[in-house]
Chains A and B, each alone.
Chain A
Amino acid sequence: MSQDIFDRVKKVTVEELGVKEEEVVEAASFTEDLGADSLDVVELVMAFEDEFGIEIPDDEVGEIKTVGDAVTYISKKSAA
Protein backbone atom coordinates (compact mmCIF):
# COMPACT_ATOMS: atom_id res chain seq x y z
CA MET A 1 0.00 0.00 0.00
CA SER A 2 1.27 3.41 -0.93
CA GLN A 3 2.23 5.36 2.20
CA ASP A 4 1.73 8.64 0.38
CA ILE A 5 -1.82 7.76 -0.64
CA PHE A 6 -2.59 6.44 2.84
CA ASP A 7 -1.38 9.66 4.43
CA ARG A 8 -3.48 11.77 2.10
CA VAL A 9 -6.56 9.58 2.64
CA LYS A 10 -5.99 9.95 6.36
CA LYS A 11 -5.67 13.72 6.10
CA VAL A 12 -8.89 14.05 4.10
CA THR A 13 -10.76 11.67 6.40
CA VAL A 14 -9.68 13.53 9.53
CA GLU A 15 -10.80 16.78 7.99
CA GLU A 16 -14.13 15.57 6.58
CA LEU A 17 -15.27 13.37 9.45
CA GLY A 18 -13.71 15.29 12.33
CA VAL A 19 -12.06 12.15 13.70
CA LYS A 20 -8.67 11.74 15.35
CA GLU A 21 -5.69 10.73 13.21
CA GLU A 22 -5.04 7.60 15.24
CA GLU A 23 -8.56 6.36 14.51
CA VAL A 24 -7.91 6.34 10.78
CA VAL A 25 -6.36 2.89 10.46
CA GLU A 26 -6.45 0.61 7.46
CA ALA A 27 -9.23 -1.62 8.78
CA ALA A 28 -11.46 1.25 9.96
CA SER A 29 -14.88 1.33 8.30
CA PHE A 30 -16.04 4.84 7.45
CA THR A 31 -19.60 4.13 8.59
CA GLU A 32 -19.09 1.54 11.34
CA ASP A 33 -15.99 2.94 13.01
CA LEU A 34 -15.63 6.56 11.95
CA GLY A 35 -19.24 7.70 12.40
CA ALA A 36 -20.05 8.60 8.80
CA ASP A 37 -23.66 8.59 7.67
CA SER A 38 -24.73 8.22 4.05
CA LEU A 39 -24.37 11.96 3.34
CA ASP A 40 -20.93 12.03 4.97
CA VAL A 41 -19.82 9.20 2.68
CA VAL A 42 -20.86 11.10 -0.45
CA GLU A 43 -19.02 14.19 0.80
CA LEU A 44 -15.95 12.14 1.69
CA VAL A 45 -15.83 10.51 -1.75
CA MET A 46 -16.02 13.96 -3.35
CA ALA A 47 -13.15 15.10 -1.17
CA PHE A 48 -11.10 12.10 -2.34
CA GLU A 49 -11.90 13.04 -5.93
CA ASP A 50 -10.67 16.58 -5.31
CA GLU A 51 -7.57 15.48 -3.42
CA PHE A 52 -6.44 12.93 -6.01
CA GLY A 53 -7.85 14.47 -9.18
CA ILE A 54 -9.86 11.36 -10.02
CA GLU A 55 -13.48 10.51 -10.73
CA ILE A 56 -15.18 7.90 -8.57
CA PRO A 57 -18.38 6.79 -10.35
CA ASP A 58 -21.43 6.21 -8.15
CA ASP A 59 -21.54 2.50 -8.95
CA GLU A 60 -17.97 2.08 -7.66
CA VAL A 61 -18.47 3.94 -4.38
CA GLY A 62 -19.71 0.68 -2.84
CA GLU A 63 -16.18 -0.73 -3.13
CA ILE A 64 -14.93 1.85 -0.64
CA LYS A 65 -16.01 0.75 2.82
CA THR A 66 -12.81 1.02 4.81
CA VAL A 67 -9.75 3.26 4.83
CA GLY A 68 -7.81 0.39 3.26
CA ASP A 69 -10.45 0.06 0.51
CA ALA A 70 -10.06 3.74 -0.28
CA VAL A 71 -6.28 3.47 -0.53
CA THR A 72 -6.50 0.39 -2.75
CA TYR A 73 -9.14 1.97 -4.98
CA ILE A 74 -7.27 5.25 -5.33
CA SER A 75 -3.94 3.47 -5.98
CA LYS A 76 -5.58 1.49 -8.78
CA LYS A 77 -7.19 4.60 -10.27
CA SER A 78 -4.05 6.68 -10.04
CA ALA A 79 -2.00 3.97 -11.73
CA ALA A 80 -4.52 3.61 -14.56
Chain B
Amino acid sequence: MMADRPKPSGRVVVTGIGGVTPLGTGVDVFWPRMLAGENAVGPITLLDASEYTTRIAAEVKDFNAEDWMDRKEARRIDRFIAFAIAAASMAITDSGIKPTEDEKEDIGVLIGSGIGGLTYMGEQHRRQVEGGPSKVSPFLVPYMIPDMGTGMVSIIHGFKGPNTCVVTACATGSNAIGDAYHIIKRGDAIAMVAGGSEAPINELGLGGFCAARAMSTRNDDPAHASRPFDKDRDGFLIGEGSAVFMMEDYDYAVARGAKIYGEILGYGMSGDAYHITQPSPDAGGATRSMKIALRQSGLAASDIGYVNAHGTSTYYNDKLETLAIKNALGEAAYKIPVSSIKSMIGHTLGAAGAIEALVCLLAMRDGKIPPTINYETPDPECDLDYVPNVARDATFKYAASNSFGFGGHNVTLILGR
Protein backbone atom coordinates (compact mmCIF):
# COMPACT_ATOMS: atom_id res chain seq x y z
CA MET B 1 0.00 0.00 0.00
CA MET B 2 1.08 3.54 -0.60
CA ALA B 3 1.63 4.39 3.07
CA ASP B 4 4.09 1.53 3.53
CA ARG B 5 6.11 2.26 0.45
CA PRO B 6 9.77 3.20 0.95
CA LYS B 7 11.02 6.53 -0.28
CA PRO B 8 11.66 6.68 -4.00
CA SER B 9 15.28 6.06 -4.92
CA GLY B 10 15.21 8.90 -7.42
CA ARG B 11 16.50 6.54 -10.10
CA VAL B 12 14.31 5.03 -12.79
CA VAL B 13 15.21 1.96 -14.82
CA VAL B 14 13.73 0.04 -17.72
CA THR B 15 13.11 -3.61 -16.92
CA GLY B 16 10.89 -4.76 -19.76
CA ILE B 17 10.52 -3.87 -23.41
CA GLY B 18 7.98 -4.60 -26.11
CA GLY B 19 7.39 -3.34 -29.59
CA VAL B 20 5.42 -3.63 -32.80
CA THR B 21 7.10 -2.05 -35.82
CA PRO B 22 6.86 -2.24 -39.60
CA LEU B 23 9.90 -4.55 -39.44
CA GLY B 24 8.01 -6.97 -37.25
CA THR B 25 6.06 -7.70 -34.11
CA GLY B 26 8.34 -8.38 -31.15
CA VAL B 27 11.79 -7.03 -30.34
CA ASP B 28 13.50 -10.26 -31.35
CA VAL B 29 11.87 -10.00 -34.77
CA PHE B 30 12.49 -6.37 -35.68
CA TRP B 31 15.83 -5.65 -34.02
CA PRO B 32 17.93 -8.01 -36.19
CA ARG B 33 16.17 -6.62 -39.25
CA MET B 34 17.03 -3.05 -38.23
CA LEU B 35 20.65 -4.04 -37.75
CA ALA B 36 20.55 -5.61 -41.21
CA GLY B 37 19.36 -2.28 -42.62
CA GLU B 38 16.10 -3.62 -44.03
CA ASN B 39 13.50 -1.32 -45.52
CA ALA B 40 9.84 -1.60 -44.50
CA VAL B 41 8.37 1.06 -46.79
CA GLY B 42 6.16 -0.26 -49.59
CA PRO B 43 2.89 0.33 -51.42
CA ILE B 44 -0.02 1.06 -49.07
CA THR B 45 -2.39 -1.89 -48.64
CA LEU B 46 -4.48 -0.74 -45.65
CA LEU B 47 -6.56 1.48 -47.94
CA ASP B 48 -6.93 2.26 -51.60
CA ALA B 49 -4.28 4.96 -51.91
CA SER B 50 -4.51 5.44 -55.67
CA GLU B 51 -5.86 9.01 -55.40
CA TYR B 52 -3.21 10.25 -52.99
CA THR B 53 0.03 12.04 -53.86
CA THR B 54 1.89 9.65 -51.53
CA ARG B 55 0.93 6.00 -52.02
CA ILE B 56 3.64 4.33 -49.95
CA ALA B 57 4.11 3.86 -46.22
CA ALA B 58 5.62 1.52 -43.65
CA GLU B 59 2.88 -0.87 -42.61
CA VAL B 60 3.04 -3.52 -39.91
CA LYS B 61 2.53 -6.77 -41.84
CA ASP B 62 2.73 -9.57 -39.28
CA PHE B 63 0.32 -8.32 -36.61
CA ASN B 64 -2.73 -10.29 -35.56
CA ALA B 65 -4.79 -8.53 -32.90
CA GLU B 66 -6.38 -11.82 -31.83
CA ASP B 67 -2.99 -12.98 -30.56
CA TRP B 68 -3.16 -10.29 -27.87
CA MET B 69 -6.80 -9.93 -26.76
CA ASP B 70 -10.16 -11.64 -26.98
CA ARG B 71 -11.84 -11.91 -30.33
CA LYS B 72 -14.62 -9.46 -29.59
CA GLU B 73 -12.18 -6.64 -28.91
CA ALA B 74 -9.74 -7.70 -31.59
CA ARG B 75 -12.20 -7.49 -34.44
CA ARG B 76 -13.46 -3.99 -33.76
CA ILE B 77 -10.78 -2.11 -31.78
CA ASP B 78 -8.76 0.66 -33.40
CA ARG B 79 -5.36 -0.53 -34.55
CA PHE B 80 -3.46 1.96 -32.38
CA ILE B 81 -5.02 0.46 -29.24
CA ALA B 82 -4.29 -3.07 -30.42
CA PHE B 83 -0.62 -2.20 -30.98
CA ALA B 84 -0.42 -0.65 -27.49
CA ILE B 85 -1.98 -3.68 -25.84
CA ALA B 86 0.44 -6.00 -27.64
CA ALA B 87 3.56 -3.95 -26.89
CA ALA B 88 2.54 -3.54 -23.25
CA SER B 89 1.93 -7.25 -22.83
CA MET B 90 5.37 -7.98 -24.24
CA ALA B 91 7.04 -5.45 -21.91
CA ILE B 92 5.21 -6.69 -18.81
CA THR B 93 6.01 -10.32 -19.58
CA ASP B 94 9.62 -9.45 -20.38
CA SER B 95 10.03 -7.64 -17.06
CA GLY B 96 8.97 -10.71 -15.10
CA ILE B 97 7.08 -8.46 -12.72
CA LYS B 98 4.56 -10.30 -10.51
CA PRO B 99 3.03 -7.55 -8.41
CA THR B 100 0.75 -8.20 -5.45
CA GLU B 101 -2.72 -6.70 -5.53
CA ASP B 102 -1.50 -3.94 -3.19
CA GLU B 103 1.49 -3.21 -5.41
CA LYS B 104 -0.78 -2.91 -8.43
CA GLU B 105 -2.20 0.24 -6.86
CA ASP B 106 1.27 1.74 -7.20
CA ILE B 107 1.83 0.74 -10.81
CA GLY B 108 0.53 3.08 -13.49
CA VAL B 109 0.15 3.29 -17.24
CA LEU B 110 1.08 6.11 -19.60
CA ILE B 111 0.84 5.19 -23.26
CA GLY B 112 0.53 8.19 -25.53
CA SER B 113 -0.66 8.55 -29.08
CA GLY B 114 -0.18 11.51 -31.36
CA ILE B 115 -3.50 11.08 -33.12
CA GLY B 116 -5.54 8.32 -31.51
CA GLY B 117 -8.13 6.19 -33.30
CA LEU B 118 -8.35 8.03 -36.58
CA THR B 119 -9.19 4.89 -38.55
CA TYR B 120 -12.18 4.18 -36.35
CA MET B 121 -13.22 7.82 -36.37
CA GLY B 122 -13.11 7.94 -40.16
CA GLU B 123 -15.26 4.80 -40.48
CA GLN B 124 -17.84 6.12 -38.04
CA HIS B 125 -17.92 9.51 -39.70
CA ARG B 126 -18.74 7.75 -42.95
CA ARG B 127 -21.52 5.78 -41.24
CA GLN B 128 -23.00 8.99 -39.83
CA VAL B 129 -22.87 10.82 -43.17
CA GLU B 130 -24.45 7.88 -44.99
CA GLY B 131 -26.96 6.67 -42.41
CA GLY B 132 -27.52 9.44 -39.90
CA PRO B 133 -26.61 9.73 -36.24
CA SER B 134 -28.25 6.44 -35.23
CA LYS B 135 -25.55 4.59 -37.19
CA VAL B 136 -22.68 5.84 -35.05
CA SER B 137 -21.10 3.14 -32.92
CA PRO B 138 -21.03 3.49 -29.13
CA PHE B 139 -17.35 2.62 -29.44
CA LEU B 140 -16.53 5.73 -31.47
CA VAL B 141 -15.59 7.82 -28.47
CA PRO B 142 -13.66 5.19 -26.49
CA TYR B 143 -11.74 3.95 -29.54
CA MET B 144 -10.99 7.41 -30.90
CA ILE B 145 -9.55 9.03 -27.78
CA PRO B 146 -5.74 8.86 -27.63
CA ASP B 147 -5.71 7.76 -23.97
CA MET B 148 -7.46 4.44 -24.60
CA GLY B 149 -4.18 2.54 -25.05
CA THR B 150 -3.51 3.44 -21.43
CA GLY B 151 -7.09 2.69 -20.41
CA MET B 152 -7.23 -0.79 -21.88
CA VAL B 153 -3.75 -1.80 -20.73
CA SER B 154 -4.63 -0.80 -17.17
CA ILE B 155 -7.86 -2.83 -17.32
CA ILE B 156 -6.19 -5.91 -18.79
CA HIS B 157 -3.35 -5.97 -16.25
CA GLY B 158 -5.13 -4.47 -13.24
CA PHE B 159 -2.66 -1.64 -12.77
CA LYS B 160 -4.41 0.99 -10.65
CA GLY B 161 -1.73 3.64 -10.17
CA PRO B 162 -1.40 6.86 -12.19
CA ASN B 163 -3.41 6.40 -15.37
CA THR B 164 -2.71 9.03 -17.95
CA CYS B 165 -1.70 9.95 -21.47
CA VAL B 166 0.37 12.47 -23.35
CA VAL B 167 -0.38 13.92 -26.79
CA THR B 168 2.47 15.90 -28.34
CA ALA B 169 2.35 14.81 -31.98
CA CYS B 170 5.63 13.23 -33.04
CA ALA B 171 7.23 13.84 -29.64
CA THR B 172 4.54 11.80 -27.84
CA GLY B 173 6.52 8.60 -27.30
CA SER B 174 9.47 10.44 -25.78
CA ASN B 175 7.24 12.60 -23.60
CA ALA B 176 5.42 9.49 -22.37
CA ILE B 177 8.65 7.84 -21.25
CA GLY B 178 9.91 11.10 -19.78
CA ASP B 179 6.69 11.80 -17.92
CA ALA B 180 6.58 8.24 -16.56
CA TYR B 181 10.17 8.75 -15.41
CA HIS B 182 9.09 11.84 -13.48
CA ILE B 183 6.07 10.05 -11.97
CA ILE B 184 8.30 7.27 -10.62
CA LYS B 185 11.11 9.60 -9.62
CA ARG B 186 8.85 11.75 -7.46
CA GLY B 187 7.28 8.70 -5.87
CA ASP B 188 3.79 8.71 -7.35
CA ALA B 189 4.29 5.14 -8.58
CA ILE B 190 6.79 2.31 -8.08
CA ALA B 191 6.49 1.32 -11.72
CA MET B 192 4.92 2.56 -14.94
CA VAL B 193 4.00 0.91 -18.20
CA ALA B 194 4.91 3.67 -20.64
CA GLY B 195 5.33 4.27 -24.33
CA GLY B 196 3.58 5.37 -27.49
CA SER B 197 1.34 3.89 -30.14
CA GLU B 198 0.15 5.04 -33.54
CA ALA B 199 -1.83 3.71 -36.50
CA PRO B 200 -2.20 6.65 -38.87
CA ILE B 201 -2.40 4.81 -42.21
CA ASN B 202 -6.02 5.54 -43.10
CA GLU B 203 -7.88 7.92 -45.42
CA LEU B 204 -7.81 10.95 -43.15
CA GLY B 205 -4.28 10.41 -41.89
CA LEU B 206 -2.85 9.98 -45.34
CA GLY B 207 -4.94 12.80 -46.77
CA GLY B 208 -3.88 15.18 -44.04
CA PHE B 209 -0.18 14.50 -44.36
CA CYS B 210 -0.33 14.60 -48.16
CA ALA B 211 -2.03 18.00 -47.96
CA ALA B 212 0.64 19.25 -45.57
CA ARG B 213 3.21 18.51 -48.31
CA ALA B 214 5.42 16.90 -45.72
CA MET B 215 5.74 13.46 -47.25
CA SER B 216 7.96 11.91 -49.88
CA THR B 217 6.32 11.37 -53.25
CA ARG B 218 8.90 8.85 -54.40
CA ASN B 219 6.09 6.39 -55.10
CA ASP B 220 8.00 4.51 -57.77
CA ASP B 221 10.86 3.67 -55.47
CA PRO B 222 9.52 2.94 -51.98
CA ALA B 223 12.66 1.13 -50.87
CA HIS B 224 14.64 4.35 -51.19
CA ALA B 225 11.98 6.93 -50.33
CA SER B 226 12.84 7.57 -46.68
CA ARG B 227 16.37 8.95 -46.78
CA PRO B 228 17.16 11.05 -43.72
CA PHE B 229 20.12 13.43 -44.05
CA ASP B 230 20.63 12.51 -47.70
CA LYS B 231 20.77 15.48 -50.04
CA ASP B 232 17.94 14.09 -52.19
CA ARG B 233 15.47 13.56 -49.35
CA ASP B 234 11.97 14.78 -50.19
CA GLY B 235 9.89 14.21 -47.09
CA PHE B 236 8.92 11.53 -44.60
CA LEU B 237 6.83 8.39 -44.94
CA ILE B 238 4.26 7.48 -42.34
CA GLY B 239 4.72 4.29 -40.40
CA GLU B 240 2.76 2.60 -37.64
CA GLY B 241 3.46 0.65 -34.50
CA SER B 242 4.12 0.92 -30.81
CA ALA B 243 6.82 0.53 -28.21
CA VAL B 244 6.20 0.19 -24.50
CA PHE B 245 8.56 -0.05 -21.51
CA MET B 246 8.12 -1.41 -18.07
CA MET B 247 9.83 1.27 -16.00
CA GLU B 248 10.53 0.91 -12.29
CA ASP B 249 12.03 2.62 -9.33
CA TYR B 250 15.61 1.36 -9.16
CA ASP B 251 15.31 0.00 -5.60
CA TYR B 252 12.08 -1.83 -6.38
CA ALA B 253 13.59 -3.37 -9.50
CA VAL B 254 16.77 -4.46 -7.69
CA ALA B 255 14.82 -5.84 -4.73
CA ARG B 256 12.87 -8.15 -6.97
CA GLY B 257 15.97 -9.16 -8.93
CA ALA B 258 14.79 -7.66 -12.22
CA LYS B 259 17.06 -7.53 -15.24
CA ILE B 260 17.82 -3.92 -16.12
CA TYR B 261 18.10 -2.69 -19.70
CA GLY B 262 19.08 0.81 -18.76
CA GLU B 263 18.31 3.95 -16.83
CA ILE B 264 16.66 7.23 -17.78
CA LEU B 265 19.24 9.93 -17.03
CA GLY B 266 17.86 13.04 -18.66
CA TYR B 267 14.56 14.35 -19.98
CA GLY B 268 14.90 17.70 -21.70
CA MET B 269 11.87 19.56 -23.00
CA SER B 270 11.40 22.84 -24.81
CA GLY B 271 8.99 24.68 -27.05
CA ASP B 272 9.76 26.38 -30.35
CA ALA B 273 7.07 29.08 -30.08
CA TYR B 274 7.53 29.57 -33.81
CA HIS B 275 5.24 27.74 -36.26
CA ILE B 276 2.58 25.02 -36.14
CA THR B 277 4.50 22.59 -38.35
CA GLN B 278 7.92 24.03 -39.20
CA PRO B 279 10.88 23.87 -36.85
CA SER B 280 12.43 27.10 -35.70
CA PRO B 281 15.06 28.17 -38.27
CA ASP B 282 17.72 28.71 -35.62
CA ALA B 283 17.12 25.21 -34.19
CA GLY B 284 16.89 26.92 -30.82
CA GLY B 285 14.19 24.69 -29.36
CA ALA B 286 15.87 21.44 -30.34
CA THR B 287 19.20 22.76 -29.09
CA ARG B 288 17.68 23.57 -25.72
CA SER B 289 15.99 20.20 -25.23
CA MET B 290 19.33 18.51 -25.90
CA LYS B 291 21.26 20.84 -23.60
CA ILE B 292 18.73 20.46 -20.79
CA ALA B 293 18.78 16.66 -21.02
CA LEU B 294 22.57 16.65 -21.02
CA ARG B 295 22.73 18.96 -18.01
CA GLN B 296 20.28 16.77 -16.08
CA SER B 297 22.32 13.67 -16.84
CA GLY B 298 25.49 15.24 -15.48
CA LEU B 299 27.36 13.90 -18.49
CA ALA B 300 29.77 15.65 -20.82
CA ALA B 301 28.87 15.82 -24.50
CA SER B 302 31.75 13.47 -25.26
CA ASP B 303 30.20 10.81 -22.98
CA ILE B 304 27.31 10.35 -25.42
CA GLY B 305 28.09 7.35 -27.60
CA TYR B 306 25.11 7.54 -29.93
CA VAL B 307 22.40 10.00 -30.92
CA ASN B 308 19.21 8.45 -32.22
CA ALA B 309 17.99 11.30 -34.38
CA HIS B 310 14.44 12.39 -35.00
CA GLY B 311 15.71 12.30 -38.60
CA THR B 312 12.44 12.43 -40.49
CA SER B 313 13.82 12.82 -44.02
CA THR B 314 12.29 16.25 -44.48
CA TYR B 315 14.50 19.05 -45.72
CA TYR B 316 14.01 21.22 -42.64
CA ASN B 317 14.09 18.64 -39.87
CA ASP B 318 17.31 17.01 -40.92
CA LYS B 319 19.11 20.26 -41.58
CA LEU B 320 17.97 21.90 -38.36
CA GLU B 321 18.40 18.82 -36.20
CA THR B 322 21.97 18.60 -37.44
CA LEU B 323 22.44 22.21 -36.39
CA ALA B 324 20.89 21.50 -32.97
CA ILE B 325 23.17 18.52 -32.36
CA LYS B 326 26.19 20.68 -33.17
CA ASN B 327 24.91 23.57 -31.05
CA ALA B 328 24.24 21.32 -28.08
CA LEU B 329 27.20 18.97 -28.22
CA GLY B 330 29.83 21.26 -29.71
CA GLU B 331 32.91 19.72 -31.29
CA ALA B 332 31.99 16.31 -29.86
CA ALA B 333 29.06 16.23 -32.29
CA TYR B 334 31.40 15.37 -35.17
CA LYS B 335 32.66 12.26 -33.40
CA ILE B 336 29.29 10.87 -32.23
CA PRO B 337 27.39 8.45 -34.48
CA VAL B 338 23.92 9.78 -35.32
CA SER B 339 21.35 7.58 -37.06
CA SER B 340 17.69 7.60 -38.01
CA ILE B 341 15.72 4.37 -38.00
CA LYS B 342 12.97 6.27 -39.83
CA SER B 343 15.01 5.44 -42.92
CA MET B 344 13.80 1.86 -42.40
CA ILE B 345 10.41 2.02 -40.64
CA GLY B 346 9.16 5.44 -41.67
CA HIS B 347 7.81 7.94 -39.19
CA THR B 348 5.61 6.23 -36.63
CA LEU B 349 4.57 9.63 -35.24
CA GLY B 350 3.45 9.24 -31.62
CA ALA B 351 5.14 5.85 -31.34
CA ALA B 352 8.45 7.03 -32.80
CA GLY B 353 10.03 8.37 -29.62
CA ALA B 354 9.25 5.17 -27.74
CA ILE B 355 10.51 2.90 -30.51
CA GLU B 356 13.66 5.01 -30.76
CA ALA B 357 14.30 4.96 -27.00
CA LEU B 358 13.92 1.20 -27.22
CA VAL B 359 16.47 1.12 -30.02
CA CYS B 360 18.90 3.13 -27.86
CA LEU B 361 18.65 0.50 -25.11
CA LEU B 362 19.21 -2.35 -27.55
CA ALA B 363 22.10 -0.55 -29.23
CA MET B 364 23.79 -0.06 -25.84
CA ARG B 365 23.10 -3.64 -24.78
CA ASP B 366 24.44 -5.22 -27.96
CA GLY B 367 27.10 -2.67 -28.87
CA LYS B 368 25.52 -2.24 -32.29
CA ILE B 369 24.24 0.98 -33.82
CA PRO B 370 21.49 0.64 -36.44
CA PRO B 371 22.22 2.45 -39.71
CA THR B 372 20.61 5.30 -41.60
CA ILE B 373 19.77 3.50 -44.83
CA ASN B 374 19.36 5.16 -48.24
CA TYR B 375 22.20 7.52 -47.48
CA GLU B 376 23.84 8.13 -50.84
CA THR B 377 24.56 11.78 -51.45
CA PRO B 378 25.99 13.92 -48.67
CA ASP B 379 24.29 17.23 -48.00
CA PRO B 380 26.67 20.05 -47.03
CA GLU B 381 24.07 21.20 -44.50
CA CYS B 382 24.05 17.76 -42.87
CA ASP B 383 27.68 17.07 -42.05
CA LEU B 384 27.67 14.60 -39.16
CA ASP B 385 28.37 10.88 -39.02
CA TYR B 386 24.99 9.34 -39.87
CA VAL B 387 26.10 5.68 -39.76
CA PRO B 388 25.35 5.33 -43.46
CA ASN B 389 23.69 2.17 -44.70
CA VAL B 390 25.49 -0.39 -42.53
CA ALA B 391 25.13 -1.05 -38.79
CA ARG B 392 28.21 -0.36 -36.73
CA ASP B 393 29.81 -2.07 -33.75
CA ALA B 394 30.44 0.36 -30.94
CA THR B 395 30.69 -0.03 -27.18
CA PHE B 396 29.12 2.84 -25.28
CA LYS B 397 27.27 3.57 -22.07
CA TYR B 398 25.09 6.57 -22.91
CA ALA B 399 22.73 7.44 -25.74
CA ALA B 400 20.50 10.41 -26.55
CA SER B 401 17.23 10.30 -28.48
CA ASN B 402 15.56 13.32 -30.02
CA SER B 403 11.87 13.74 -30.85
CA PHE B 404 10.20 16.84 -32.22
CA GLY B 405 6.50 17.35 -32.85
CA PHE B 406 4.08 19.60 -34.72
CA GLY B 407 3.20 22.37 -32.30
CA GLY B 408 6.86 23.03 -31.54
CA HIS B 409 7.45 20.23 -29.00
CA ASN B 410 11.09 19.27 -28.53
CA VAL B 411 12.13 16.35 -26.35
CA THR B 412 15.48 14.73 -25.70
CA LEU B 413 15.90 11.60 -23.61
CA ILE B 414 19.28 10.47 -22.35
CA LEU B 415 19.56 6.82 -21.47
CA GLY B 416 22.40 4.92 -19.85
CA ARG B 417 23.10 1.24 -19.45
Secondary structure call for the A interface? helix
Contact A18 B135 (CB under 8 A): no
Contact A18 B137 (CB under 8 A): no
Q: How many residues of A contact B (CB 8 A)?
A: 13
Q: What CA separation (Å) do A46 and B139 show in the bound complex? A: 12
Q: Kindly specify which of B2-10, B69-77, B185-193, B339-347 makes contact with the partner chain.
A: B69-77
Q: Which residue of B lies closest to A36 (CB)?
A: B72
Contact B135 A43 (CB under 8 A): no
Contact B138 A43 (CB under 8 A): yes
In the complex, which residues of chain A have a beta carbon less than 8 angstroms from the beta carbon of B70?
18
Q: How many residues of B contact A (CB 8 A)?
A: 13
Contact A18 B71 (CB under 8 A): yes
Please give the distance in Å from A53's CB to the nearest CB on chain B. Answer: 11
Contact B138 A18 (CB under 8 A): no
Q: Which residue of A lies closest to B127 (CB)?
A: A46
In the complex, which residues of chain B have a beta carbon less than 8 angstroms from the beta carbon of A18?
70-75
CB contact list, A30-46 vs B, under 8 A: 35, 38-40, 42-43, 46
In the complex, which residues of chain A have a beta carbon less than 8 angstroms from the beta carbon of B73?
18
Contact A46 B71 (CB under 8 A): no
Q: What CA separation (Å) do A38 and B138 show in the bound complex? A: 9
Q: Which residue of A lies closest to B69 (CB)?
A: A18
In the complex, which residues of chain A have a beta carbon less than 8 angstroms from the beta carbon of B139?
39, 43
Q: Which residue of B lies closest to A14 (CB)?
A: B71
CB contact list, B23-78 vs A, under 8 A: 70-76
Q: What CA separation (Å) do A22 and B76 show in the bound complex? A: 22
Please give the distance in Å from A19's CB to the nearest CB on chain B. Answer: 8
Q: What CA separation (Å) do A55 and B74 show in the bound complex? A: 27
Give the contacting residue for A40; candidates B71, B72, B135; CB below 8 A: B72
Q: Which residue of A lies closest to B74 (CB)?
A: A18
Contact B137 A46 (CB under 8 A): yes
Please give the distance in Å from A10's CB to the nearest CB on chain B. Answer: 15
Chain A residues in the interface with B (C-beta under 8 A): 15-19, 35, 38-40, 42-43, 46, 55
In the complex, which residues of chain B have a beta carbon less than 8 angstroms from the beta carbon of A19?
72
- Encode B132-152 as 1/0 by CB contact (under 8 A) with A: 001101110010000000000
Q: What CA separation (Å) do A16 and B391 show in the bound complex? A: 46
Q: Beyond A16-B72, A38-B138, A43-B76: 12 further Cβ-contacts under 8 Å?
A: A18-B70, A18-B72, A18-B73, A39-B139, A40-B72, A42-B137, A43-B137, A43-B139, A46-B134, A46-B135, A46-B137, A55-B134
Please give the distance in Å from B72's CB to the nearest CB on chain A. Answer: 3
In the complex, which residues of chain B have a beta carbon less than 8 angstroms from the beta carbon of A17?
72
In the complex, 22 of the A-B residue pairs with CB atoms within 8 angstroms, ordered by the A residue number, are A15-B75, A16-B72, A17-B72, A18-B70, A18-B71, A18-B72, A18-B73, A18-B74, A18-B75, A35-B72, A38-B138, A39-B138, A39-B139, A39-B142, A42-B137, A42-B138, A43-B76, A43-B137, A43-B139, A46-B134, A46-B135, A55-B134
Q: What CA separation (Å) do A35 and B73 show in the bound complex? A: 12
In the complex, which residues of chain A have a beta carbon less than 8 angstroms from the beta carbon of B72?
16-19, 35, 40
Q: Considering residues B70, B72, B75, which has the most beta carbons from chain A within 10 angstroms of its beta carbon?
A: B72
Q: Which residue of A lies closest to B72 (CB)?
A: A18
In the complex, which residues of chain B have a beta carbon less than 8 angstroms from the beta carbon of A35?
72
- Encode B69-96 as 1/0 by CB contact (under 8 A) with A: 0111111100000000000000000000
Q: What CA separation (Å) do A74 and B142 show in the bound complex? A: 29
Q: What CA separation (Å) do A40 and B134 show in the bound complex? A: 15
Please give the distance in Å from B123's CB to the nearest CB on chain A. Answer: 13
Q: What CA separation (Å) do A68 and B143 show in the bound complex? A: 30
Q: What CA separation (Å) do A28 and B134 show in the bound complex? A: 26
Q: Which residue of B lies closest to A39 (CB)?
A: B138
For the complex of A and B, the 8 pairs showing the least CB-CB separation, nearest first, are: A18-B72, A18-B71, A42-B138, A39-B138, A17-B72, A43-B137, A18-B70, A43-B138
Please give the distance in Å from B386's CB to the nearest CB on chain A. Answer: 47
Q: What CA separation (Å) do A38 and B139 show in the bound complex? A: 11
Q: What CA separation (Å) do A38 and B142 show in the bound complex? A: 13
In the complex, which residues of chain A have a beta carbon less than 8 angstroms from the beta carbon of B71?
18
In the complex, which residues of chain A have a beta carbon less than 8 angstroms from the beta carbon of B137?
42-43, 46
In the complex, which residues of chain A have a beta carbon less than 8 angstroms from the beta carbon of B135?
46
In the complex, which residues of chain A have a beta carbon less than 8 angstroms from the beta carbon of B142?
39
Q: What CA separation (Å) do A43 and B136 show in the bound complex? A: 9
Q: What CA separation (Å) do A16 and B76 show in the bound complex? A: 8
Q: What CA separation (Å) do A72 and B62 show in the bound complex? A: 42
In the complex, which residues of chain A have a beta carbon less than 8 angstroms from the beta carbon of B134?
46, 55
Please give the distance in Å from A47's CB to the nearest CB on chain B. Answer: 10
